[in-house]
Amino acid sequence: MYKTSKIVFSPRVRKSPYFDSTIKYGAQAFSVYNHMYMPISFEGTVEDYNNLLNGVQLWDVGVERQVQIKGPDAETLSQFLTPRNIKKCSIGQAMYAPLLDFDGGFVNDPVMLKLEEDHYWFSLADGDALLWAQGIAAGYKFDVEIDEPDVSPLQVQGPNSLDLMTKVFGDWVNDLGFYRFKEVNHKGIPMIIARMGYSRERCYELFLQDHTKGNELWEILWHAGQDLNISAGTPNIILRLEGGILSYLADMDRTNNPYEVGLDWIVDLDQEDDFIGKDALNKINVKGPARKLMGAEIQGDPITVFNEEPWPVLIEGKKVGSMNALVYSPRLKKNISYIILDVEYAKSGQEVIISSPDKEFTATTVDLPWFDRA
């Protein structure tokens, strides 16, 4: 389904601590994400998807680099970077906290972890948000230290993930709340274990804090999962679209604001604290967004290719938006996609034409998501 060419491994692009394990267990293709190699396929998109739904899967997401903010102004700066009200986040809790620019557009969409009152991590999507945070801190003279710590996430995904986690780490994992985390040292391997991950399935994220221990951690989990149908995988586009999960730079970027892509719930305009983009979002909130992200179900046989560029969306021959992602869902037995439409056309049940380079497809708009969290 992916159109690929050869990739050459070199010192110019970093490897994750789990890189050797991904090669050992069958990674077929890689992309580059945050200046690092990221596996994107093992047995194939559909096969990896089915493996996850029928067992437990390890994902090398070491590319999710952390922006670490420490110091007297850590909370103030962290709040200034995101429209979420982070004062509602307690120590030991994580929070989805996108970073916006001064026009309200997305700079990145990380998850924030609050380790102490003066210590935060922002777990990044693709992009150089470390430089953004450092620039804002310097320009506004915040009293903080900002760096990229030795932290590399590994996700444990799928219906058997809890069984694997309790088998390896103990029964306390049963009580770990959603978007909560705990510091752990397991057999000399330091990490933070969080109940969260990039799918709607049961999932955990292990934030390894010693890059020399990556393959050792992978092997511990792999051998413990032999009776749990364990496999190697990677963030999967089928799971992402089924669950209505957004991917930064694929589904939204600096040209989009939270109101356009269904993330208005992250914006707290009533909080007393200022944040970057607050004035712009106030205006958008009053006027309303110009566009809206929708789902669309595409008629016809299963589509087995991915779009390399956005495809135009038409109504009666007029371009009214674009389609940014599509995939065939085996569970739904439908071609599903994300489209962003001019707001006057963004209503459920609207018939549209999606124009690929080769042919036109008829589709019907639907509300997101197709599947909620397991």
Residue 341's CATH number: 2.40.30.110
The pLDDT value recorded for residue 7 is 83
In a domain, 250, yes or no: no
In a domain, 139, yes or no: no
- 176 lies in the same domain as 31: yes
Q: Once rounded to an integer, what is the mean pLDDT over residues 79-98?
A: 98
Instruction: Give the CA distances from residue 136 to residues 171, 210, 217, in Å, rounded to whole numbers and listed in that order.
Output: 42, 29, 36
* pLDDT grade for 374, boundaries at 50, 70 and 90: low
pLDDT in tens, 233-278: 999 999 999 999 999 999 999 999 999 999 999 999 999 999 999 9
In a domain, 86, yes or no: yes
* pLDDT grade for 1, boundaries at 50, 70 and 90: low
- 282 lies in the same domain as 294: no
All residues at 6 or more sequence positions from 11 whose CB lies less than 8 Å from its CB, including other chains: none
Q: How many domains does the chain have?
A: 3
- 159 lies in the same domain as 55: yes
Of 168, 291, 303, the residue nearest 228 (C-alpha):
168
In a domain, 37, yes or no: yes
pLDDT in tens, 168-227: 999 999 999 999 999 999 999 999 999 999 999 999 999 999 999 999 999 999 999 999
- 170 lies in the same domain as 31: yes
The pLDDT value recorded for residue 6 is 76
| CATH number of the domain where residue 94 is located | 3.30.70.1400
Q: Once rounded to an integer, what is the mean pLDDT over residues 18-39?
A: 97
pLDDT in tens, 351-367: 999 999 999 999 999 99
Round to whole Å and give the CA distance between 113 and 234: 22
- 57 lies in the same domain as 192: yes
Residue 2 has pLDDT above 70, yes or no: no
Q: Once rounded to an integer, what is the mean pLDDT over residues 146-158?
A: 98
- 229 lies in the same domain as 278: no
Of 284, 260, 207, 241, the residue nearest 98 (C-alpha):
260
- 58 lies in the same domain as 72: no
Domain of residue 109 covers 66-125+257-287
- 281 lies in the same domain as 326: no
In a domain, 133, yes or no: no
- 207 lies in the same domain as 225: yes
